[in-house]
Structure 1
């Protein structure tokens, strides 16, 4: 009989949250939430800082075109991984938590090796799929670099899958600090590896090699951390039936996150295909700079989702309603200093040629300022058992960025891509607020029981 642990996110590692009947003061929970938010934001800031330094290095070495190659080799393999591993990063924490929705314990001696085999299978499926479609991928994205670059990108498709699932495994073993730290490690390890490669090798081949070695290093770090927590002890045989159950759960649970990823990266993929790597490189700088505004919203979502899940649903509704304007205010305050320094910072840091990134940055900031509300409402919808509603809101944002991007990007290049993304951010927020109003009203009036059938799917 394995030890039953709380579902990931319900408690901080090595501590137990007080129950609603506990006499522990509220400030204990508040302090714990604050520490979790700080740790998660620190991990994300570290990742963004490392990615920013890497982008500056690439920009100084090869200009916008090489930055475009860097972006494509990072984003496209990641998109394939999300499809090929059947949402395993999202499913792993649930099955590692110990029990299913009916309170029955999963046999961890079967769960853990099954997750490992699914990770390998997903990585292999992604690599084979990329290899099969590499001629088309070359024509769409890599024509200016040669077919061999598209072919070589098969390797990061394989290696990225291990890193993405590994972070989910850390979360599932109640190592939330490790999961936050892994976010930073994943990006940081590229820097020293790439610096060593640059001693004798430049160009896109060096980028691909650096990214692959960074994935290997990050995956090794995750494996060591998992081993220290006893993840590899007491393994039995993988269970095919359990594997199908995990994959099915992962695909359902990961739909919203996949939509969110597509929404964030569709503009880059389309811009790279239509305008080429040089314009994409300029736009990448604008995009990453503006995305700094998302950090408070991401941390808010990360912490409040399990908090709302523990709350009485009517109380969660009232808390969310009170926090909507403050969440918007926090995002606005985060956007203001970025808007003030963008005009001078971007050309000075990345080079004068990146002065064209300033206008797209302003446009994206205008849209991403709503992200604090998005993170809050998504945490609420997941917490009251309505992940389908959250996915629907994200799907509306995806439709908005596709329609606006197809129209605007061929006409206005980077500015068109920024406008399409800004429109999608606002559309997502509006759709989620509509769902919040609908779900919250049913909860408060007692006319519905949202989420009774969605906790496990």
Structure 2
């Protein structure tokens, strides 16, 4: 079987709708699994362990993608573009993935004492060090998923999206049955689930022929991948700062119990990201394949539609938050309702951010995407430090909501500007 799921690119508009719907279903199923996991941890271990679990989901992943210089972002771009047929590309990406995973693990182990002192004082240091294995499993899983995305194997990518969240549930249950509890059971579930997710995701690459017909890895090609990935990852890193800096500040100032409540609010509000994430996931490689004029036309067509979708969903989710959160998580998590509603305000225009970011990265301008994210980070840092010490989780929600709105506005302006230039150049 060819390593490409589709031999010839087709227009974005003819491919995007069905693929986006399938990815939306996958993202929804993954979020359902994550919500069930958070609910179980909250009910069985309490808010403090939920907070620690939230950080352990983010920090190992962050370590891996930063140390690998944004390899997942670059892998999807290069595999979906003209260099995707280069027989040296796939082995080069694989070498970079293995090297990044190994280096990421070493960085985690070296930083574990500091992380223990700052964020995980209630977690045994040996257990925190053991959690470093998830740096390897998360990076390899995310990389394999990005490769599926770049090769237009959206069915495989969707399988990984669901699988990486689903496997935690039985793994966590197995840890509980073995007599573990609290954060120890959580880490055990993450380790076992991570190994299974990695096997599934890399196995999917093998099924599509990714590891067939290789040539010798290329140092020059690897340099190009790293250079692009670093520019693209800067935007993703800044996006993550916008998304999760409040977690770190809340944990440091208010403790893991308050963070656990806020994490539930944040995860609920991020239901708004489901349709936007699906569009971004599908459009990124499509924009990379499309001709400049076609990509610009699709941007102008899709951006207002995506924005309207998230705007319409906002009041529905706000009402649901008021009713569902106390029922599902209990009275101890009732304070999560107000932060969830505040976060939804900033996420109202998330559809525009998703389409704009996909356009900028897919058309080879990850630096512009990073610039837009960077302005949002400035807002996030300033407001987090100003509001969280006084208002706690509510202050964190206000800060993030404002930052989301600022970032979306800038990304939309930049994408329209570049689309205009690309259309003008195509006509001349």
TM-score (norm 2): 0.91
Shift of 1:90: 1.6
Could you say what the CA RMSD is over the residues aligned between the two structures, in angstroms? Answer: 2.7
Query: Where is the helix percentage greater, Structure 1 or Structure 2?
Result: 2
Q: 1:376 & 1:133 partners in 2: Cα distance?
A: 36
Q: 1:171 & 1:319 partners in 2: Cα distance?
A: 19
Shift of 1:337: 1.4
Q: Does 1:182 align with 2:165?
A: no
Q: 1:308 & 1:189 partners in 2: Cα distance?
A: 32
Q: Does 1:164 align with 2:142?
A: yes
Q: Does 1:264 align with 2:247?
A: no
Q: 1:31 & 1:442 partners in 2: Cα distance?
A: 24
Which residue does the alignment assign to 2:267?
A: 288
Q: Does 1:49 align with 2:39?
A: no
Q: Is the contact made by 1:4 and 1:99 (CA closer than 8 Å) also made in structure 2?
A: no
- Superposition pairs for residues 148-159 of structure 1, below 5 Å? 148-159=126-137
Q: 2:427 & 2:258 partners in 1: Cα distance?
A: 50
Q: Deviations over 1:301-348 (max 9, x none)?
A: 233445555666556555544554433221022222111121121011
Q: Is the contact made by 1:401 and 1:420 (CA closer than 8 Å) also made in structure 2?
A: yes
Q: RCO greater where, 1 or 2, for CA within 8 Å and sep 6 or more?
A: 2
Which residue does the alignment assign to 2:414?
A: 435
Q: Deviations over 1:232-282 (max 9, x none)?
A: 234455444443333223212332222212221111122112211100100
Q: Deviations over 1:135-182 (max 9, x none)?
A: 111111011223333322222223222111111222234312101221
Query: Which of these two proteins has the greater Rg computed from alpha carbons?
Result: 1
Which residue does the alignment assign to 1:274?
A: 253
Q: Does 1:69 align with 2:52?
A: yes
Q: Deviations over 1:84-123 (max 9, x none)?
A: 11211122234445844xx9x62x2x43333222212111
Which residue does the alignment assign to 1:335?
A: 314
Q: Is the contact made by 2:300 and 2:416 (CA closer than 8 Å) also made in structure 1?
A: no
Q: 2:366 & 2:34 partners in 1: Cα distance?
A: 30
Q: Does 1:371 align with 2:357?
A: no
Shift of 1:361: 0.5
Higher mean alpha-carbon deviation, 356-365 vs 317-326, is at 317-326
The count of corresponding residues between Structure 1 and Structure 2 is 427
Q: 2:10 & 2:79 partners in 1: Cα distance?
A: 22
Which residue does the alignment assign to 2:324?
A: 345
- Pick closer, same or farther for the CA change 1:444–1:38 going to 2, 3 Å: closer
Q: Does 1:216 align with 2:199?
A: no
- Pick closer, same or farther for the CA change 1:441–1:398 going to 2, 3 Å: same
1:246 to 212, 221, 225: 225
Gaps of 5+ in 1: 6-12, 20-28, 450-457
TM-score (norm 1): 0.86
Q: 2:60 & 2:96 partners in 1: Cα distance?
A: 18
- Pick closer, same or farther for the CA change 1:118–1:325 going to 2, 3 Å: closer
Q: Deviations over 1:340-396 (max 9, x none)?
A: 121121011011100010010011011011101111222333455433222211111
1:37 to 10, 16, 20: 20
